[in-house]
Structure 1
């Protein structure tokens, strides 16, 4: 179990510890949002990605808005993932695993604890799991009741996606879900009560299929790494340009000691200017240490700029340049370039742009609660950049275990059979679904 005596950065400052304890007890008594069997299946699929047989597209909101979690909106978000997966399949000629930043992406780490709006200084917005975006003190108060609201909203999204209710007696099961869920495992008062135990004593995180740890909270001696080290879920960690080869090797040893394909993904958020300089040494260090990790490119977080209107934005060509640099950096030293991690919306917004000049003297639509996202047309354009580089097959990691059976997760006695290629098939009507909504 996570040792709460370890440092835990970016945590809410609750004003009533006794209320937080009661809420944690309530969450611990609630059903998990994901099942262990589904977690095992996802690890099987990611093992195929780690072997270079498939790719991942992971995309969704920077910070989920609970007001956009109804069935219609979730369907539109899912349609974007369908479209991006189809685009990546066309670009790379490989099947694609679709993963959403969805059903729990309600908390955000921030670079500073407060912000000044005119003469008013307020706690910074940290996602609906912690506080609200409205510019008043009551909304910005860190409210632990939001932990329960987040759990219930995430449950609704899981149902809209088809994950919940599949085994309820008397209820006709929906079509097999194709969109896996993921979010940053940030607020420990939410994540820890949702850890569940298997019959053999191992644990899984019941809040999401695929948790990741962010660049700001991945300290080797920290509580966040301790959290994901002790669960059987596949896990991911974001790494930036300041990461050293020694640090990343220790991180991999902590999270993937058995060197299992599908267990660990590293999400590179380097920035277009530094990706080709900084990333190859990290990929080489991990490969030499024998960890069969998946490398994903996050071309967005290292390339945020401020436009002439004072709003943050991200430029499409800069992000495409990072993707191309990522592909060269990873494959040239024998790593597995496994896909993309993007922030997207189904809405027709202009939060990212081809050039900052589009913001001069005009008002554009922005609906993001935090950082700028790609609209569907922009996202398709960016995913298409994957085909700009000839990707070489990855070299096998030194000392890694050769998994002849992708289902073989140690200690798992009831892992379902590995899905066939149909598991990856992208629905051909994705574009029409977007156009109809």
Structure 2
């Protein structure tokens, strides 16, 4: 670990020249800033600000992800579809952290290995869009690209990309991360307290099938207490931040030089990933992440081929370092059992050890007749089961799950033990982008994944 008082330094002339190669390449999903000079000024201001995370923390995460890639840990990555500035409140941040901690306890017991906890938090402010514009009642305006770019309200003023939001995004991320650190290091994460929350969940008659599992965890915790386990140490947890490296000017402005070895690190988050819409080889996003030291992820949809996967691995993990590359599959429940096995078999020939994670959310979106974007909980579960089945058949390790969730009692995804139906969606549909699992659905999924882990 490096001295956290000087984790990174400003770049010397020429050191980051290669890092800016992305500017010469095709680039996708970037806002058209009306005030280009303002955007440059905002990026320059962010470049002078302190890092949000330290290089030593990033190296520690690489070690944890290497263990997960080798089957000695499991990864839980969860959080909002798109964070909003208004949603960066103490109550909402605490609820998301609480949900992830509760899921992690269940998964730890099921996997019998450590669970690496990563939040889609403190930076998940930008979202790719399927169209540059949105039309309502004959009026066409720029699409909402997340609070770090423009506003959600359908007015010309709100939808105009505002570079001042870049700076506000940095400050909101800093405030969020500060609170996350307090919750995860100040006793809120005490294992006994977190498990007591889960006992309440399992005691609900709707979740009776998980009561036995929860009772087993309860006995394990009581045994640890009787055996003299150091619960002072179990009051704190490692918690890492992650987001999609989408908005290139922001990610570039947050890149610093590790003072120990002169390598670039993106200090906007511990872990960043490239999405399905921006992972084209020869384009800007993959080129940028190939040059930073962070552990990185790539979303893989059902169309990716073994040949394309090999080229991605060669670019992003040329030295074949465990913990460097995470492959996040988002195939869809109806396609994962056919699309994933050829990739798993091909990856065995690459002499690499990628970490495989399933994102069972993004391939299962539907729109109801009333216009609500939603997902069926059963489809999410089915894709998770397909992910585990493919890995069992291939003899590879299913290393984690990547979930869009909230700690609130929203009604955005259909089904689950609460039996949310289409009529319920209107009651508490709060997402500005994609539908999220609510608190109860997230915990239910954790118990179901834990059951899969016990059968591996």
For the aligned pair, the TM-score class normalised by the smaller chain equals 0.7 to 0.9
Shift of 1:92: 2.3
1:208: which partner in 2? 269
Unaligned 5+ residue runs, structure 1?
167-174, 394-437
> Equivalences for 1:28-43 in 2 at 5 Å?
28-43=47-62
Shift of 1:391: 7.3
TM-score, structure 2 as length reference: 0.81
1:363: which partner in 2? 426
Shift of 1:66: 1.2
TM-score, structure 1 as length reference: 0.84
Shift of 1:357: 8.0
Deviation sequence 1:73-97 (CA, Å, 0-9, x none): 2222110110111121233222211
Within the candidate set 54, 64, 68, 2:73 is matched to: 54
C-alpha contact (below 8 Å) 1:78/1:179 kept by paired residues: no
* Aligned counterparts of 1:17 and 1:155: Cα–Cα separation in 2: 25
Deviation sequence 1:368-404 (CA, Å, 0-9, x none): 11000000110111222324546787xxxxxxxxxxx
Matched, 1:15 2:34: yes
* Aligned counterparts of 1:263 and 1:303: Cα–Cα separation in 2: 28
Matched, 1:71 2:90: yes
Within the candidate set 207, 228, 243, 1:183 is matched to: 243
C-alpha contact (below 8 Å) 1:101/1:183 kept by paired residues: yes
C-alpha contact (below 8 Å) 2:337/2:390 kept by paired residues: yes
Equivalences, count: 384
> Equivalences for 1:143-222 in 2 at 5 Å?
143-162=162-181, 178-199=238-259, 200-222=261-283
Structure 1, 124-133 or 112-121: larger mean CA deviation:
112-121
* Aligned counterparts of 1:144 and 1:205: Cα–Cα separation in 2: 20
C-alpha contact (below 8 Å) 2:411/2:420 kept by paired residues: no
* Aligned counterparts of 2:358 and 2:98: Cα–Cα separation in 1: 21
Deviation sequence 1:288-314 (CA, Å, 0-9, x none): 111101111111100011123220110
C-alpha contact (below 8 Å) 1:293/1:336 kept by paired residues: no
Residues 212 and 163 (structure 1), Cα distance of their counterparts in 2 relative to 1, 3 Å cut: farther
Matched, 1:272 2:333: yes
Give 3-state SS (helix, strand or coil) of 1:219's partner.
Answer: coil
Give 3-state SS (helix, strand or coil) of 1:162's partner.
Answer: helix
Residues 36 and 345 (structure 1), Cα distance of their counterparts in 2 relative to 1, 3 Å cut: same
* Aligned counterparts of 2:406 and 2:453: Cα–Cα separation in 1: 29
Give 3-state SS (helix, strand or coil) of 1:367's partner.
Answer: coil
1:372: which partner in 2? 435
* Aligned counterparts of 2:20 and 2:455: Cα–Cα separation in 1: 39
* Aligned counterparts of 2:396 and 2:165: Cα–Cα separation in 1: 41
RMSD of equivalent CA atoms: 2.0
1:44: which partner in 2? 63
Give 3-state SS (helix, strand or coil) of 2:47's partner.
Answer: helix
Deviation sequence 1:220-240 (CA, Å, 0-9, x none): 101111111111111001000
Within the candidate set 119, 123, 126, 2:138 is matched to: 119
Unaligned 5+ residue runs, structure 2?
1-18, 186-234
2:211: which partner in 1? none
Within the candidate set 94, 98, 101, 2:120 is matched to: 101
Residues 104 and 361 (structure 1), Cα distance of their counterparts in 2 relative to 1, 3 Å cut: closer
* Aligned counterparts of 1:219 and 1:368: Cα–Cα separation in 2: 28
Residues 283 and 362 (structure 1), Cα distance of their counterparts in 2 relative to 1, 3 Å cut: closer
C-alpha contact (below 8 Å) 2:117/2:239 kept by paired residues: yes
* Aligned counterparts of 2:425 and 2:412: Cα–Cα separation in 1: 13
1:346: which partner in 2? 407
2:154: which partner in 1? 135
